[in-house]
């Protein structure tokens, strides 16, 4: 059927996340003009909305679309390019030189389309990104009909995209103006990390973001070396430095946060700053553990990101949620931490809160945007079902996500992406890899 504007979805189970954490069985959800207009028992919907087109999803669980809070989408083109190295060596000897040689607007466009395909097929409807040529990222997202926060990168050193901090800042402001009309795109500021951005520039970012009420996303406390170097150079821990420069607050998202002492957590708590946990990337680069139990015990908002495909190497957020849940239990010695529902909250309502979009995203509530995904739970690994949320988090495979809507528009139907031509996207990615591989064999 041609995707209708107003329709009903009748899944076997529905988890709204808010207000109800428990699954609803045999409920229907009604979408009108891109928003959720009703959630009610299926027989009542049958009566009340006669004639509306209906998606009957008899073996499916419907949940809010997953929100991947941190990544570098275009780096899918460097997936598997360099593995098994410490963070600084990986960056300085492998990633940064490869980026200098290859990254341009087309690289970003092609790599982002590949990333978006992977994310849509695994249940993600919103992603946050931080990479060069962010205009190309935004264009790829718009083409796919995907929602995106773009943290426009800021560094002190030149890249193929900008020449110095001032240039990065100006380009970020221009980007804001350019994509203002697009409701799927939110432009934020992305100071790369405390060790690549000066005090002056960080203060500028704090000032702009405060004036524009825009979000900030920064890599922070990613490795032990970052803390050591900061104490040597500035006489304080990185998070203290950001706090002193006015960078922390409810609009700020700190990514990684593996090296935390009580004083650091006091600052997060006091300023209502969000943490983006990227467990696979932290494990792969052997950077340490984000203390999720201590953070959540303090009421600090924790969400989840995959990080880029060069350091994960997968953008499967469902797998990342499972990793976060298991790791939190193993690391804290407390199996009750990040139970299935709380884990799902991290990737839905907590992420919406971090984005400042809690009133629009992150749950299947009346009045919110119809960003939602359905997963089919009839395969062997999902059978039998006592609790569909347990099944989703602990055993389901993300290749069973079947349908996805963003702003009420169908972007995946029976695993077919409606706006993208996947064979051409994978073909372009393979072509890039041939060029990159060919050059490194010279
Ligand atoms: Zn990152």
Q: What is the 3-state secondary structure (H, E, C) of the chain?
A: CCCCCCEEEEEEEECCCCCCCCCEECEEEEEECCEEEEEEEHHHHHHHCCCCCEEEEEEEEEEECEEECCCCHHHHHHCCCCCCCCHHHHHHHHHHHHHHHHCCHHHHHHHHHHHHHHHHHCCEEEEEECCCCHHHHHHHHHHHCCEEEEEEEECCCCCCCCCCHHHHHHHHHHHHHHCCCCCCEEEEEEECCCCCCCHHHHHHHHHHHHHHCCCEEEEECCCHHHHHHHHHHHCCCHHHHHHHCCCCCCCEEEEECCCCCHHHHHHHHHHCCEEEECHHHHHHCCCCCCCHHHHHHCCCCEEECCCCCCCCCCCCHHHHHHHHHHHHHHHHCCCCCCCHHHHHHHCCHHHHHHCCCCCCCCCCCCCCECCEEEEECCCHHHCCCCCHHHHHHHCCCHHHEEEEEECCEEEEECCEECCCCHHHHHHHHHHHHHHHHHHHCC
Q: Cα(384)–Cα(300) distance, rounded to whole angstroms?
A: 35
What pLDDT, on the 0 to 100 scale, is given for residue 4?
A: 80
Residue range 143-194, pLDDT digits in tens: 999 999 999 999 999 999 999 999 999 999 999 999 999 999 999 999 999 9
Cα(192) to centroid of ligand 1, in Å?
8
Q: How confident is the model at residue 88 (pLDDT cuts 50, 70, 90)?
A: confident
Is residue 94 a contact partner of residue 130, using CB atoms and an 8 Å limit?
no
Cα(431) to centroid of ligand 1, in Å?
25
Axis crossing angle, helix 134-144 with helix 105-121, rounded to the nearest 10: 40
Q: How confident is the model at residue 312 (pLDDT cuts 50, 70, 90)?
A: confident
Place of tokens 């249940």: 123
For residue 351, count CB atoms less than 10 angstroms from its CB and return exposed for 0-12, middle for 13-18, buried for 19 or more: buried
Give the number of other CB atoms < 10 A from CB of residue 167. Answer: 14
Residue range 344-385, pLDDT digits in tens: 999 999 999 999 999 999 999 999 999 999 999 999 999 999
Give residue limits of the domains in the chain. 7-64+372-406, 66-354
Q: Which residues pair with 63 in a beta bridge?
A: 373
Cα(48) to centroid of ligand 1, in Å?
47
Q: Cα(189)–Cα(298) distance, rounded to whole angstroms?
A: 27
Place of tokens 């006669």: 50
Is residue 149 a contact partner of residue 176, using CB atoms and an 8 Å limit?
no
Asked whether residue 2 carries a pLDDT value surpassing 70, the answer given is no
CATH of domain 7-64+372-406: 2.30.40.10
Asked whether residue 1 carries a pLDDT value surpassing 70, the answer given is no
Cα(303) to centroid of ligand 1, in Å?
14
Cα(131) to centroid of ligand 1, in Å?
9
Cα(218) to centroid of ligand 1, in Å?
9
CATH architecture of 66-354: Alpha-Beta Barrel (3.20)
Cα(238) to centroid of ligand 1, in Å?
16
Cα(277) to centroid of ligand 1, in Å?
11
Cα(174) to centroid of ligand 1, in Å?
23
Cα(70) to centroid of ligand 1, in Å?
6
Is residue 181 a contact partner of residue 387, using CB atoms and an 8 Å limit?
no
Place of tokens 């002193």: 244
Is there a cis peptide before residue 400, judged by omega within 30 degrees of 0?
A: no
Q: How confident is the model at residue 442 (pLDDT cuts 50, 70, 90)?
A: low
Cα(390) to centroid of ligand 1, in Å?
29
Cα(220) to centroid of ligand 1, in Å?
10
Give the whole-number percent of the chain exceeding pLDDT 70.
99
Torsion of CA 297, 301, 306, 312, to 10 degrees: -40
Q: How confident is the model at residue 86 (pLDDT cuts 50, 70, 90)?
A: confident
Mean of per-residue pLDDT scores for the chain:
96
């Amino acid at each position: 059927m041609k995707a209708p504007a107003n329709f009903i979805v009748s899944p076997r189970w529905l988890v709204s996340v808010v207000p109800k954490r428990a699954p609803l069985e045999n409920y229907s959800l009604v979408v009108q003009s891109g928003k959720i207009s009703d959630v009610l028992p299926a027989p009542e919907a049958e009566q009340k909305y006669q004639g509306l087109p209906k998606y009957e999803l008899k073996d499916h669980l419907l949940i809010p679309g997953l929100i991947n809070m941190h990544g570098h989408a275009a780096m899918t083109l460097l997936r598997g390019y360099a593995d098994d190295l410490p963070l600084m060596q990986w960056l300085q000897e492998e990633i940064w030189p490869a980026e200098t040689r290859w990254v341009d607007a087309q690289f970003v466009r092609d790599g982002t389309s590949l990333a978006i395909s992977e994310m849509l097929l695994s249940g993600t409807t919103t992603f946050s990104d931080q990479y060069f040529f962010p205009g190309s990222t935004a264009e790829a997202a718009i083409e796919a009909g995907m929602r995106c926060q773009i943290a426009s990168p800021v560094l002190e050193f030149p890249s193929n995209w900008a020449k110095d901090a001032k240039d990065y800042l100006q380009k970020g402001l221009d980007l804001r103006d350019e994509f203002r009309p697009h409701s799927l795109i939110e432009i934020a500021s992305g100071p790369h990390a405390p060790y690549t951005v000066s005090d002056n520039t960080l203060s500028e970012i704090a000032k702009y973001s405060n004036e524009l009420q825009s979000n900030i996303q920064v890599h922070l406390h990613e490795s032990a070396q970052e803390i050591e170097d900061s104490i040597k150079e500035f006489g304080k821990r990185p998070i203290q430095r950001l706090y002193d420069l006015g960078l922390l607050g409810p609009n700020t998202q700190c990514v990684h946060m593996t090296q935390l002492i009580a004083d650091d957590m006091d600052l997060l708590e006091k300023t209502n700053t969000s943490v983006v946990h990227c467990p696979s990337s932290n494990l792969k680069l052997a950077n340490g553990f984000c203390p999720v139990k201590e953070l959540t015990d303090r009421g600090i908002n924790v969400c989840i990101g995959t990080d880029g495909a060069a350091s994960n190497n997968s953008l499967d957020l469902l797998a990342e949620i499972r990793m976060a849940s298991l790791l939190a239990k193993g690391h804290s010695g407390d199996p009750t931490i990040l139970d299935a529902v709380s884990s799902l909250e991290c990737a839905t309502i907590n992420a919406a809160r971090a984005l400042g979009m809690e009133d629009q995203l992150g749950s299947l509530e009346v009045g919110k945007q119809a960003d939602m995904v359905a997963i089919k739970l009839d395969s062997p690994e999902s059978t039998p079902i006592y609790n569909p949320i347990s099944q989703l988090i602990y055993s389901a495979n993300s290749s069973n996500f079947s349908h996805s809507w963003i702003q009420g528009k169908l972007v995946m139907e029976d695993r077919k992406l409606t706006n993208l031509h996947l064979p051409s996207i994978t073909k372009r990615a393979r072509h890039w890899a041939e060029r990159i591989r060919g050059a490194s064999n010279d």
